[in-house]
Amino acid sequence: MPNLSIRSFANSLALRSALVPIVLAVGLAACSTTKKSSVGAHGGAAISQGASYSSEQIRQAVQQWGNKYEASPDDRNVALNYAAALRLNDQIDQAVAVLRKAMIKHTKDREVAAAYGKALAAKGQFDEALRVIRSAHTDDRPDWRLLSAEGAILDQIGKNAEARRQYGQALKIVPNEPSVLNNFGLSYALTGDLTQAEKVLRQAAAQPGADSRVRQNLALVLGLQGKFQEAERVALNELEPAQAEANIAYLRGMLSQRNTWNDIKAQDKKKKNRS
C-alpha cells in the first residue's frame, strides 16, 4: 500500500507541469539561489525545462522570446521557446494560448503536441492534455517524447501502473534516456516505493545527458529515506550551499512530523486492540 504521507508530499511539490522536477527547493525560494544555467534568445538558444534559472534570467527570456514571437508568431521554434519561458515564469494560461495557436499552424508536429499537452496538464486540464497527446501519436510511428508525456499525465491522475507502461515503451525506443528515467523514478516515488525510485533515478543521473532536475529529484528521494548526508552531497552540486542545507533541514522536519504522526497512529491501534 502506498505511503500516503510521501505521496501527499510529492504531489504537493511535483506534477504541476507534467512531472516537472520534485525539487528540494520548493517553498524555499530556490530561484534566487540555484546554480545558474544560461538562458536567452540570442542566437536562438533553446530553453531547457530541466535547467535551473534565476528569476531575472527567466524574466529576460520571457521578454526576449516574446519579442521574437511578436515578430514571427508562426515560427514553431520561437513558439516553443516562448511557451517554455512563460511556463518557467508560471504564466501557464499564456503558454497554453501560444501553444494552441502553434498547434493550429503545425497540426502534425509531435514536439508541439507534446509541449501543448504538458502545458494543458500544468493547467489541470488532464483529459484535454491526454486527447492532444494521443491524437498526435500513432502505433506505427511511436514517439518516445509523446509516450513519456502521456505517462507523466497519467501519473498526475493516479494511473501509475499505466504511466509506467508508457515509460517502458518509451525506453524501448531510447534506452537510458534520462528524461524518461526521471519520470519513471518519480512515478515510483509517488506511490511510496522509494527504493525503486532511488534505483531508477540513480540510473538516470548516471547518464551523460542528465540535467539538474534529475539530480535534484535523486537528492529528494534520498532525503525522504533519511539518507541526508548523501542527499546533501548531491544537492550541493545543484544548489548554493545555504540552499542545500535549508532543503535538507526542511526534509528532516517533514520526516520528523511524518514519523510522529505514524507513532500516534501506532499507539491508537494498540489501544483499539486492547479494548
Task: Write out the three cell numbers for 137.
Answer: 501519436
Cα separation, 100 vs 273, in Å, equals: 58
pLDDT score of 4: 34
As a whole-number percent, the residues of the chain with pLDDT over 90 amount to 48
Considering the chain, what is the average pLDDT of its residues?
A: 78
Q: How many CB atoms lie within 10 A of CB 8?
A: 13
Q: Which of 107, 108, 112, 49 is nearest to 78 (CA)?
A: 112
Residues 114-140: pLDDT tens digits? 999 999 998 999 999 999 999 988 888
pLDDT interval class at 270 (50, 70, 90): low
> Are the C-beta atoms of 82 and 98 separated by less than 8 Å?
yes
13-17, 46-50, 163-167, 269-273, range with greatest mean pLDDT: 163-167
The percent of residues above 70 in pLDDT, for the chain, comes to 69
Q: Give the tens place of pLDDT for each residue, 48-96.
A: 555 567 788 889 999 999 999 999 999 999 999 999 999 989 999 999 9
Q: Of 28-32, 119-123, 159-163, 211-215, which range is least confident?
A: 28-32
Burial 107-116 (b: 16+ CB within 10 A, else e): eebbbbbbbb
Placement of cell 509523446 in the chain: 146
Q: Is the pLDDT of residue 38 over 50?
A: no
Cα distance between residue 151 and residue 222, in whole Å: 23
> Which pTM does this prediction carry?
0.72
Please state the φ and ψ torsions of residue 100, each to the nearest 5 degrees. -60, -45
Report which of residues 191 and 176 the model is more confident about: 176
Task: Give 239's strand partners.
Answer: 34
Contacts (Cβ under 8 Å, ≥6 apart) of 20: 14, 49, 122, 213
- What confidence score (pLDDT) does residue 197 get? 95
How many CB atoms lie under 10 A from the CB of residue 168? Answer: 13
Cβ atoms of 136 and 127 within 8 Å: the answer is no
Q: Which fold has domain 4-265?
A: 1.25.40
pLDDT of residue 39: 43
